[in-house]
Structure 1
Amino acid sequence: MQKLQLILQKYIKHQWTAALHDILVIPIAWSLAYWVRYNFDVVPTGMIEQGIQSLLYIIPAQIISYWYFGLYRGVWRFASIPDFIRILKATCVGVSLSIILLYAVSNLATIPRTIPILYGLFLIFMLSGSRFAYRWLRDRDIYRSAGKRVLIVGAGRAGEILAREIRQDCNHVHYPVAFVDDDKNKQNREIHGVRVVGGVADIIGAIQKYSIQAIFIALPSANNKQIQAIFDVCQGTQLPVRILPKFDDITLDKVGVELLREVSIDDLLGRDPVSLNWDSISKSLSNKTILVSGGGGSIGSELCRQLCQLSPQNLIIFEQSEFNLYEIERELKAQCKAVTVIPYLGDVAISQSLDECFSKYKPDIVFHAAAYKHVPMLEANIREGFNNNVVGSNNIIKMADKHLCETFVLVSTDKAVNPTNYMGASKRISEQCCQLMSQSSKTKFVTIRFGNVLGSAGSVIPLFKEQISNGGPVTVTHPEIVRYFMTIKEACQLIMQSAVIGKGGEIFVLDMGKPVLIKNLAEKMIRLSGKIPYDDINIEYTGLRPGEKLYEELFYDEEKLKSTGFDKIQLANSASMDLKHFQNLLSNIISACENYQEQELIELVKPRYLSQNDADLALINNNIIPIKQNY
Structure 2
Amino acid sequence: MKVGEWKQAQWVALDVLAWLIALAAMVGLINDDMVALSNISSTNYIIIGLAILVMVLLGISLGEYSSPQRVWPGSRTEDIVLFILNMAASVTASALTIILVTNPPIEWFIPLAAGICATLFGILARTVARWIATNFRSKHRCERLVILGAGRRAKYFINSLTDAGTSRDNRFQVVAVVDPEQGSVHRFHGLRVVRGIEQLEDVASRTRAESVIIATDEALSTEYINVLNHICEESQLRLLVLPPVEEYSRHRGARTTSQVREINIADLIGRQPLNLDETKVSSFIRGKKVLVTGAGGSIGSEICRQVHRFGPSELIMLDRDEGGLHATQLSLTGTALLDGSDTVLADIRDAETLNQIFAERQPDIVYHAAALKHLPLLESYPAEAVQTNVVGTQNVLNAAARANVCTFINISTDKAANPASILGESKRAAERLTAHMGNEHSGVWASVRFGNVFGSRGSVITTFQRQIEEGGPVTVTHPEVERYFMTIPEASQLVLQATVVAESGETLVLEMGKPVRIADLARNLIKLHDADVDIVYTGLREGEKISEDLVDDREEAAVGDRHPLITEVRVEAEPLDPSIDFYTHDHQGARRWLAEHGGSEQTHAVMSAAVGEQS
Structure 2 length-normalised TM: 0.76
> In 1, distance between residues paired with 2:461 and 2:39?
78
Equivalent runs, 1:493-512 vs 2, <5 Å: 493-512=493-512
Q: Name the aligned partner's letter for residue 229 of structure 2.
A: F
Determine which of 533, 543, 546 is the counterpart of 1:547.
543
Determine which of 513, 529, 534 is the counterpart of 1:538.
534
SS at match of 2:258: helix
> In 2, distance between residues paired with 1:252 and 1:344?
31
Say if 2:577 is the partner of 1:592: no
Paired position in structure 1 for 2:450: 450
Paired position in structure 1 for 2:219: 222
> In 2, distance between residues paired with 1:119 and 1:511?
63
Report if aligned partners of 1:508, 1:572 keep a CA contact under 8 Å in 2. Answer: yes
> In 1, distance between residues paired with 2:510 and 2:14?
69
Determine which of 153, 156, 170 is the counterpart of 1:158.
153
SS at match of 1:141: helix
Paired position in structure 2 for 1:196: 193
1:51 deviates by 4.7
Q: Deviations over 1:546-593 (max 9, x none)?
A: 43222222232121222433212222243476x6xxx4xx33333432
Report if aligned partners of 1:223, 1:271 keep a CA contact under 8 Å in 2. Answer: no
Residues 291, 224 of structure 1: CA spacing in aligned structure 2 closer, same or farther, 3 A cutoff? farther
Q: Deviations over 1:426-475 (max 9, x none)?
A: 21222222233333333432122221122222211222233333443322
> In 1, distance between residues paired with 2:433 and 2:15?
82
Q: Deviations over 1:106-153 (max 9, x none)?
A: x73x64636963895599469847854762562473699975543321
Residues 445, 159 of structure 1: CA spacing in aligned structure 2 closer, same or farther, 3 A cutoff? closer
Report if aligned partners of 1:150, 1:216 keep a CA contact under 8 Å in 2. Answer: yes
Considering only CA atoms, is the larger Rg found in Structure 1 or Structure 2? 1
Determine which of 563, 567, 571 is the counterpart of 2:564.
567
> In 1, distance between residues paired with 2:119 and 2:424?
76
> In 1, distance between residues paired with 2:442 and 2:172?
62
Report if aligned partners of 2:26, 2:110 keep a CA contact under 8 Å in 1. Answer: no
Say if 2:129 is the partner of 1:135: yes
Residues 440, 468 of structure 1: CA spacing in aligned structure 2 closer, same or farther, 3 A cutoff? same
> In 2, distance between residues paired with 1:26 and 1:398?
79
1:483 deviates by 0.6
Q: Name the aligned partner's letter for residue 183 of structure 1.
A: E
Q: Deviations over 1:353-379 (max 9, x none)?
A: 101111101122222111011112223
Residues 423, 276 of structure 1: CA spacing in aligned structure 2 closer, same or farther, 3 A cutoff? same
1:251 deviates by 3.8
Equivalent runs, 1:146-545 vs 2, <5 Å: 148-160=143-155, 162=157, 170=166, 174-186=172-184, 189-208=186-205, 211-225=208-222, 226-228=224-226, 230-231=228-229, 233-247=231-245, 249-251=247-249, 254=252, 257-269=257-269, 271-274=271-274, 280-333=280-333, 342-529=342-529, 531=530, 536-545=532-541
Residues 57, 468 of structure 1: CA spacing in aligned structure 2 closer, same or farther, 3 A cutoff? farther
> In 2, distance between residues paired with 1:62 and 1:608?
89
Bigger drift between 519-528 and 367-376 goes to 519-528
Residues 178, 285 of structure 1: CA spacing in aligned structure 2 closer, same or farther, 3 A cutoff? closer
> In 2, distance between residues paired with 1:568 and 1:599?
39
Report if aligned partners of 1:244, 1:259 keep a CA contact under 8 Å in 2. Answer: yes
Structure 1 length-normalised TM: 0.75
1:302 deviates by 1.8
SS at match of 2:445: strand
Residues 19, 95 of structure 1: CA spacing in aligned structure 2 closer, same or farther, 3 A cutoff? farther
Q: Deviations over 1:584-608 (max 9, x none)?
A: xx33333432xx3334434544576
Bigger drift between 55-64 and 359-368 goes to 55-64
> In 1, distance between residues paired with 2:246 and 2:106?
60
SS at match of 2:554: coil
Paired position in structure 1 for 2:27: 33
> In 1, distance between residues paired with 2:117 and 2:194?
39
Report if aligned partners of 1:62, 1:90 keep a CA contact under 8 Å in 2. Answer: no
Q: Deviations over 1:307-326 (max 9, x none)?
A: 23333332222211112223
1:166 deviates by 5.8
> In 2, distance between residues paired with 1:236 and 1:526?
16
> In 2, distance between residues paired with 1:237 and 1:540?
30
Report if aligned partners of 1:150, 1:214 keep a CA contact under 8 Å in 2. Answer: yes
Give the aligned CA root-mean-square deviation in angstroms. 4.6
Report if aligned partners of 1:158, 1:252 keep a CA contact under 8 Å in 2. Answer: no
> In 2, distance between residues paired with 1:248 and 1:128?
32
Q: Name the aligned partner's letter for residue 221 of structure 1.
A: E
1:184 deviates by 2.6
Equivalent runs, 1:104-119 vs 2, <5 Å: 108=103, 111=105, 113=107, 117=111
Q: Name the aligned partner's letter for residue 34 of structure 1.
A: G
1:350 deviates by 0.3
Q: Name the aligned partner's letter for residue 309 of structure 2.
A: Q
> In 1, distance between residues paired with 2:230 and 2:19?
57
SS at match of 1:442: coil
> In 1, distance between residues paired with 2:46 and 2:316?
66
> In 2, distance between residues paired with 1:515 and 1:123?
62
1:293 deviates by 1.0
1:90 deviates by 8.3
Determine which of 40, 54, 63 is the counterpart of 2:39.
54
> In 1, distance between residues paired with 2:195 and 2:230?
17
Equivalent runs, 1:67-106 vs 2, <5 Å: none
Report if aligned partners of 1:74, 1:83 keep a CA contact under 8 Å in 2. Answer: no
Q: Name the aligned partner's letter for residue 345 of structure 2.
A: L
Q: Deviations over 1:94-117 (max 9, x none)?
A: 9999999x96xxx73x64636963
Report if aligned partners of 1:314, 1:342 keep a CA contact under 8 Å in 2. Answer: yes
> In 2, distance between residues paired with 1:409 and 1:465?
32
How many residues in Structure 1 have an aligned counterpart in Structure 2? 568
Structure 1 gap segments, 5+ residues each: 1-11, 618-631
SS at match of 2:425: helix
Paired position in structure 2 for 1:620: none
Paired position in structure 1 for 2:611: none
Report if aligned partners of 2:94, 2:109 keep a CA contact under 8 Å in 1. Answer: no
Q: Name the aligned partner's letter for residue 562 of structure 1.
A: A
Paired position in structure 2 for 1:621: none
Paired position in structure 2 for 1:601: 590
Residues 391, 305 of structure 1: CA spacing in aligned structure 2 closer, same or farther, 3 A cutoff? same
Report if aligned partners of 1:164, 1:192 keep a CA contact under 8 Å in 2. Answer: no
